[in-house]
A = this chain, B = another copy of it.
Amino acid sequence: MIQVAVMGYGTIGSGVVEVLETNREIIKRKTGQDISVKYILDLREFPGDPHEDLIVHDFSTIEKDPDVGIVVEAMGGVNPAYAFAKACLLAGKQVVTSNKALVAAHGTELLQIARDKNINFFFEASVGGGIPIIRPMVQCLAGEQILEISGILNGTTNFILSKMDREGQTFEEALKKAQELGYAERNPEADVEGYDTCRKITILTSLALEKEVNYEEVYTEGITKITDTDFKYAAKMGTSIKLFGSSRMADGKTSVFVCPMMIDRDHPLYGVSDVFNAVMVRGNMVGTLMFYGSGAGKLPTASAVVADIMEAACHMTDNVPLGWSSEKQQLSDVKEMRFRYFIRFAGSAAEKLADVEAAFGKTEIIELPGMDEFAVLTGEMTELKYHKVAAAFGDIRQMIRA
C-alpha cells in the first residue's frame, strides 16, 4: 500500500481524490498497489465532506510521517508550495504537482533534489491539463531534435478569444462571460496578460532542450489589447487570433515568446476553440504533431496528476530521467525574431497605401466597409525592423503578429 498526501483541497486537489476513488480498481490492477490518501492539507475546514477526517492543517504532519510516500502539491502559487515541495523531496517523499508557477520558478532545483534522492518530481498536469504532453515529448520524441513548439496553453484566454471570434463580443464582454462561468478569476491578470502561458511554454522549452529557461526572459504579451474590430478583419481574411506560447529552436538559437498570433485555416491550431488547449510540436524527423484536449478543469487535470502518482508508485526508489539540468539556455533577443505583421492604420488606403508599402514593403490590403481605417498584412521581417519602421510611420492602431 502506498500512502498519499494531497496538499490543497481546491479544484484540483479534490479532483485527485475523486479520480483515485472512482478509478481505484484500474489503478490497483495497473500499478499492483493500493494507493490511498492519508492526509489532505488545507487551511480551511470542510465540515460534512466525506474526507473531513483526512484534513490536516499542519504541513509537518505530512513531512514527518514516514508512511507518506507520495505528496501531491495542488495548492498553486510559489509560496508556500516551493518550501513544502522541497521539504517533501528532502524527506525522501516523491512529489507530483500541477503547479506551473512552481515548476517554472523552481523546477531545476526540485528536479535535482529528486535525482539526488533517487526519487521523482513529476509535473505532467502543469502544462495542458489533461493532455499528455510532457511524457510524450520526453519519451516518444526522445530521438528527435525538436525545432518548434507552439501551443494554445491557456483555456481562459482561448475561451475569451473564441467568444470574440464567433459572437463578435468585445474583450470586456467575453471576459465577463468567462468570469460568470468560472473560467476566469476575479483578478484575471495571470491569464489575460499571458503570464500563465509564459510559464507553460517555458516548461516545455526546458524539457525540449534539457536546459533551464528563465521565464522572466520570455517576451510576453497578453490579449487585453485585442478588439472586436480585429476579429472583423480576421473574419474577412479567413483567419483567427489565438494566444500562442511558442519556441523556435534551430541553428543553435532559441526564441521563446508569448503573444496573440493571427493564424489561417491551414494552421493545425486553427480549430482549437473554447477552453480546449493544444500543443503543436515539430521535430526534425517526425514532422508536425499535435496534442489536443481539455487544458484545464477539475477531472482532466486530476487525471494527469493521478497518472503521475501511478508512475511514481512504480518507481518508489529510482529516478525516471525527466526534466532538465541546471545549465542555462541563452535566449535570442526578441528583436531578432521574424514575423509577418497585421497592421491597422488610421485613414484611407487610397491615400496611404503607397506610403505604407514604401515603408513596410509589399503587403496584402484588407478593407472593411464604413471604417475610417484599413489594414495590411506585411511580408516577413524582424521585430527590430518592424518597430523601427512603425515608430517612424505613426498612425498605427493595432499590430498583431502573423
A residues within 8 Å of B by Cβ?
19-20, 22-23, 26-27, 29-31, 124, 130-132, 135-136, 139-145, 210, 268, 271, 283-294, 297, 299-300, 302-304, 306-307, 309-311, 314, 321
Contact = CB atoms under 8 A, between A and B. Distances in A.
A300 B271 contact: no
B289 A291 contact: yes
Given A268-B292, A285-B23, A287-B299, A307 B141 contact: yes
Given A289-B292, A290-B293, 4 more contacts: A23-B144, A132-B139, A135-B136, A289-B291
A181 B12 CA distance: 49
In the complex, the 9 A-B pairs of residues with the closest C-beta atoms, listed nearest first? A132-B140, A143-B306, A289-B293, A290-B292, A130-B286, A286-B303, A132-B136, A285-B303, A285-B299
A19 B284 CA distance: 9
Contacts of A286: 130, 293-294, 299-300, 303-304
Contact of A23 (B145, B268, B294, B310): B145
B294 A287 contact: yes
B141 A132 contact: yes
Nearest to A24: B143
B140 A27 contact: no
A144 B285 contact: no
A383 B300 CA distance: 33
B288 A303 contact: no
Nearest to A290: B292
16 contacts: A20-B143, A22-B284, A23-B284, A26-B144, A30-B143, A130-B285, A139-B139, A139-B311, A141-B307, A143-B310, A144-B307, A285-B300, A286-B294, A286-B304, A288-B294, A291-B292
